[in-house]
Structure 1
């Protein structure tokens, strides 16, 4: 029975060996919906990523909706916050930053990810501000989708990005 790439002993061993280092850093810039953040936190635990919240968030980090969406995995989440964008950049430099936006010209499939990259996502209603993101920025990426869809749910976008990051970096 084929268990897929993460079902193999080698893949499980690789995941266990990186358990103490974040595989990636996921940044949510001023998130607005606690349930999305909880779901993203659960996904981060699943792939060994660290979740960063750039304040202000529209909810408290002890919000019951946040914890409910993260289920009992929240206790295992590597979580940090930053008081603003400059604070985050200071904490994560010199790592590579990738900025996700539906307006980016490059797609996620054009990226070449490395371990501990920083994946940055904007708020649910307005995305990333222009002070952080420019459309032609070389590390700005979009997730391809049909023209009929304006955008994906934030938690879905983070999941797609994290699993593509993991696909490229697992075993490197």
Structure 2
């Protein structure tokens, strides 16, 4: 089955392209919630994805609710800097979803409030930065989940 990355209204093509490359390398499905801040034909998007787009299972939705309803039996984790649990406190399961917000505003507070029990963070110093890069954060989460399951299907 594999893991799933959900990008909530992504704005920066480089980040989405880099995440698509991570998805191709890890057999992770990429779910994109519209609207996006760029076109999927964007030259920067394809460049950042390094022509791996044909190897990525990408699915599009008009709302996060639509995605969550389609996968109602799965667990969704919402990744934000103020999450109460660190990402390493979770025992991940095959089929889990990791939701990441817009680069500029994150996941809307109303969505986070509905899912407080599954709100996670990656510890970092906030003295010099307010957040990590979105594509780095996605890679950290996916690889931790894969590590816990001993990297199924990867060499």
The alignment's TM-score, normalised by the length of structure 1, stands at 0.83
Q: 2:78 aligns with which of 87, 99, 123?
A: 99
Q: Distance in 1 between matches of 2:102 and 2:56?
A: 20
- The CA deviation at 1:136 is 7.9
Number of the residue aligned with 2:144:
164
- Encode CA deviations 1:3-28: one digit per residue, 9 max, x unaligned: xxxxxxxxxxxxxxxxxx3x101000
Structure of higher CA gyration radius: 1
On the 8 A contact 1:26/1:118 being kept in 2, the answer is yes
Which ranges of structure 2 fall in alignment gaps of 5 or more residues? none
- The CA deviation at 1:135 is 9.1
**TM alignment of 1:1-172, pairs within 5 A:** 21=1, 23-134=2-113, 137-148=116-127, 149-170=129-150
Count of aligned pairs between the two proteins: 151
- The CA deviation at 1:131 is 2.1
Of residues 104-113 and 135-144 in structure 1, the stretch that sits farther from structure 2 once superposed is 135-144
Distance 1:66 1:141, change over 3 A: same
- The CA deviation at 1:84 is 1.0
- Encode CA deviations 1:118-143: one digit per residue, 9 max, x unaligned: 10000000000022102981110000
Q: Which runs of 4+ in 1 moved over 2 A?
A: none
Q: Distance in 1 between matches of 2:104 and 2:48?
A: 20
Residue 157 of structure 1: SS of its match in structure 2? helix
Distance 1:85 1:136, change over 3 A: closer
Residue 113 of structure 1: SS of its match in structure 2? coil
Q: Distance in 1 between matches of 2:37 and 2:115?
A: 29
